[in-house]
Amino acid sequence: MRHETCGLLIKIIHDSVRKRLDNSLREKDLTLAQVRVLMALGEGEGDPKPLKELERRFQVAQSTIVGIISRLETKGFVDGYTAPDDNRVKLVKLTPDGEKFREANIKEVEEMEERLLSHLTEAEQHEFQRMLRIVYENVR
């Protein structure tokens, strides 16, 4: 491989991972963005999350996250509702079907992570992740 810039290598890796995951998710009528939201909603105790939190986490516009949530609601994977104490806040939580899907498919995400890091020692993996966080903070 000829000398590539770091930015280009990151893009190439991202595109390759996305292509593989999109191909497997297409069979399930889902997108990578939808699965990322399902994974995020299942973190912690699975407590409902405000739409604003999801917008910030995934660095997308409100209309984008609303569209993702709307499609997941149609599929029966999430429920969206107004916060009981503040009508301006929309909350989202996994449904039982959403949780089942998340659990069944988290293995696929873990396998991709293993593939990405398979030729690195455990120490190299930690160092790589540390360096990626630094690079991310530099461009954030």
Residue 105: predicted pLDDT: 80
Q: Is residue 7 part of a domain?
A: no
Q: Is the pTM of this model over 0.95?
A: no
Q: Is residue 107 part of a domain?
A: yes
- Give the structural domain span for 75: 31-139
Residue-wise burial string across 89-100, b where 16 or more C-beta atoms lie within 10 A, e elsewhere: ebbbbbbeebbe
Q: Is residue 84 part of a domain?
A: yes
Residue 68: predicted pLDDT: 96
User: How many independent structural domains does the chain possess?
Assistant: 1
pLDDT in tens, 18-47: 888 888 788 888 888 898 899 999 988 878
Find residue 90's DSSP bridge partners.
Answer: 82
Residue 89: predicted pLDDT: 93
- pLDDT < 50 positions in the chain: none
Q: Is residue 101 part of a domain?
A: yes
Residue 82: predicted pLDDT: 94
Q: Is residue 115 part of a domain?
A: yes
Q: Is residue 51 part of a domain?
A: yes
C-alpha triplet 50, 33, 61: angle, nearest 5°: 55
Domain of 101, CATH number, reads: 1.10.10.10
